[in-house]
Structure 1
Amino acid sequence: MPTAETVQRFIARVEENAHTEAIAEFYTDGATMQENQSPPRRGRDTLVAHESKVMARAKSLTSECVRPVFINGDHVAIRWIFNFVWADGSTTRMEEMAWQRWEGERIAEETFFYDPAQRTPVPAKA
């Protein structure tokens, strides 16, 4: 079960846009991430590599935790809002719920729930 302080440190890293670092620091070696009902990605190294590819496509990103955060034993629920500006100037605003299962002070499983229509970038204004 994570402490509230550990969860807040994790949130702070994500809000600093240190997404890949947060995965390296707060996920178990065998952690999984799943988006909606897609097959999960497995293994911390795989998760870091995937996140690195996403971050490389972004010109800028703001990450915001919408509080409160819910902690119940080994489970944590966090509402996030991410605003991406992509290299071509298009934008994406993603609002999602993250459902996490922690093992001690590390995340072992995470599922993101969001409307997939949000993934379509809005073209840059001419």
Structure 2
Amino acid sequence: MPSAATLEAFVAAVESGQHAQAIEDFYTEQASMRENQAEPRRGRAVLVAHERAVLARTASVASQCVRPVLVNGDHVVIRWIFDFTGTDGRRMHMEELAWQRWEGERIAEEEFFYDPAQMKPA
């Protein structure tokens, strides 16, 4: 179960735009991520590489945690709002729920739930 301090540090890292670094700092080596029940990506190195590829296509991203963060033992749910600006100037607003399973102070498994219609640039 993650400590309150660890959860706050994780949220702060994401909100400050350190998305890839947050994966390096807060995920287990064998962590997995999946989106809307798609096939999961596995391994922290793969997760970091994927995040860096996404960020390379963006000029900026603003990330906001909508509180409260819900915690039940090793399970955490965070509601996120992201505002992306692509390198082409297009903007995209996205809201999602991130369901996480923690092992101690690190995330072992994460699944994102969001409406894919949001992926269309505004």
Name the TM-score, length of structure 2 as normaliser. 0.99
Are 1:8 and 2:8 counterparts? Answer: yes
Match of 1:84 in 2: 84
Match of 1:98 in 2: 98
CA–CA separation in structure 1 for the residues paired with 2:70 and 2:117: 26
Rg larger for: 1
Match of 1:116 in 2: 116
Match of 1:22 in 2: 22
For each residue in 1:75-119, what CA deviation from the matched residue of structure 2 results, as whole angstroms up to 9, or x when unmatched? 000000000000111111110000000000000000000000001
Match of 2:70 in 1: 70
CA–CA separation in structure 1 for the residues paired with 2:119 and 2:39: 17
CA–CA separation in structure 2 for the residues paired with 1:7 and 1:19: 14
CA–CA separation in structure 2 for the residues paired with 1:104 and 1:17: 24
- The size of the alignment, in residue pairs, is 122
Identity %: 62
CA–CA separation in structure 2 for the residues paired with 1:78 and 1:5: 15
Aligned-residue CA RMSD in angstroms? 0.5
Match of 1:55 in 2: 55
CA–CA separation in structure 1 for the residues paired with 2:24 and 2:73: 22
Q: Find the residue that maps to 2:110 and give its secondary structure.
A: strand
Using the TM superposition, give the Cα deviation of residue 9 of structure 1 relative to its aligned residue in structure 2, in angstroms: 0.3
Name the TM-score, length of structure 1 as normaliser. 0.96
Give, as a single letter, the amino acid of the residue that structure 2 aligns with 1:71: V
CA–CA separation in structure 2 for the residues paired with 1:63 and 1:83: 7
